Amino acid sequence: MVYGLGSNSFGSLELGHNVVVKSPQIIGELCYKNIKQFFNGYNFVLALTHDNCLYSWGRNARGQLGTLCAFIKDDPYVEPELIDLEFILTSDGCVYGWGDNRYGQIGSGHNFENKEIIYCGDCCSFAITSEGQVFSWGPNEWYQLGHNSTDNIWEPQLIADLTGIKTICSAGGLTYFLSIDGFIRFCDRYSNENNEDFIQKSPKRTNSGQHDYVDQYKRLFDEKRQIGDGSYGKVFEVTNKLKNCYAVKKIDIQDDNYTKDCEKEVERLIKSLQNILQHKRQVFGRQPGEPMNSIEFYISCHIFKEILECVQYLHELNPPIIHRDIHTGNILLSKTVRNGRYFKVADFGLATIRKSNSKASNPTREAPEVRRGESNDPKSDVYSLAITTEEIFGFDLEDILENSSQKYSLDNEVLNKCVVQLKQVLKEMLNRDDPTFRPSCRQY
C-alpha cells in the first residue's frame, strides 16, 4: 500500500487533484506496483519499483518527467507513466539526466565515477560518494548547495568539510544532510524561533537530534548520583524503569571536532577486543571455570597471533615504536578485513620511540624493568602482550610461572598438548629476571 500527504502541487501526490492533503491518504494508482523508492522533485515525483521500472508524474513543463507528454495548463496533473530510464544511476555506474538545465544542474559531461547516490532538489543536484563525501551543482543564490558563494555551480563540486553523509533532502529553500552518526546538518536561508531571517552559508549541525536523545534519556532513566569524572564528561549511576543499574557518561558537546573525538572514543569501546572477550564464553556455551573446546581455543590462538603480528610491525620500524600501553581495550576490531586480518592495535597516546623514559599509565601491565625506571625496549611490549592472555585464554599467569602441572582438559589430550606449548611460550614472554631472554614477536 502507498500513502501520501503534502502540498500536492500539480497533482504530485497522484490523487487525481491538486488540493493540499493534510493527512495520509491511500494512493490507489500506486498500490501493488512493488515500489521500493520515491524521488520527490519540486512539483513532480519519480517512483522506482523492485523490478527497476521507473514511473513519473506531476509537472512536465521542462521535461522533468522524462516523457514526451506536454504540459497542459488546465490539466491539474499528469498520471503516472512508465519511462524507459530527472537522474538515473544505473547498476553499471552510468548516470542519465534530463529536464531543466538552465543552471547546469544536469551535470552533463561530468565523470560520476565513485558516486553512489544522486539527489535532485529545486533546480539543484547532489551526489554522495562511497566515502560519504558530497558533490553539488546548480544555482546557489541562497547557499543551498553548501558552498560559501552565491555563484552558480556549473559542474559537480565537492562540499568542503562535509563527510559521513548518507542521505540528502533539498526543498523549499533549505538543504538537509543526514550523516551516519545520526545528526542533521543544514544550509540555505531559514528563520529562527523569533521569525528572524538568517542565511547559513555552509552546512551546520542542528540541535534537534541532540534534544531528542536527551528527552529519550530522561524518559527511560532516573539519575541516582554522580560517581565520577571521565574523558569528555561526568559519569552517573542511573536506573531504568525495571530498576536495572547502569553507568552513563553525559558529554557536553562543544563543537564538531569535539564530537568527532567523542565518537571515536565510543567506537573504540564498542569495538574493542575487551568488549568482545566479555561475551566469548557465552557465545561458545561455556560455563564459568570450564575449559575451552578446540574451536574456541583455535580462534583464541588466531586472535593472539594477529596481535603479535601488529606489535611486530611496530617493533620492526626504523626506529622501532614501543606502544607501552598494550591491553585488550586498545585492540580494536577493524572495519575492513585485509589479508585475513581482523584486529588492529590503537591508542598510541603513550607510544614512544625506543629508549624514551616517559611513564606509562598502568603499572599492572608494565614490565618489571619499566616499573624500575630502566630504559624502554620492545621486549617490554612483549611482557604486556603476555598479560593480555589472561583475558584471551582465561589463564592464571602465576600458575604458568610456577610450572603448574594441572591438566587443562580432562578428556582432550590434543588440546592439553597445545596448551602446554602455549604456556611455555608465555612463560618466556613473562621473563622477569632478564628481558633479553624474552622472545621477539616474530619468533612466534
Annotated binding site: 250
For residues 149 and 130, give the distance between their C-alpha atoms in angstroms, rounded to a whole number: 26
Q: At a CB cut-off of 8 Å and minimum separation 6, what does 93 contact?
A: 112, 113
CA angle 313, 274, 255 (to 5 degrees): 85
Nearest-CA neighbor of 323 among 362, 373, 272? 362
Write the DSSP assignment of 28-45 as a string of letters: GGGTTS-EEEEEE-SSEE
For residues 218 and 236, give the distance between their C-alpha atoms in angstroms, rounded to a whole number: 13
Grid cell listed for 388: 593480555
CA angle 287, 290, 291 (to 5 degrees): 135
Own/partner contacts of 358-364, CB < 8 Å, gap of 24 or more, are 360/324, 360/325, 361/325, 362/325, 362/327
Nearest-CA neighbor of 418 among 407, 432, 430, 433? 407
Instruction: Let me know: does 23 contact 8? Beta carbons within 8 Å.
Output: no
Locate all alpha helices (DSSP H) within 75-164, ordered by sequence: none
Binding residues for ATP: 250
What is the rounded end-to-end Cα distance, in angstroms, of the chain? Answer: 61
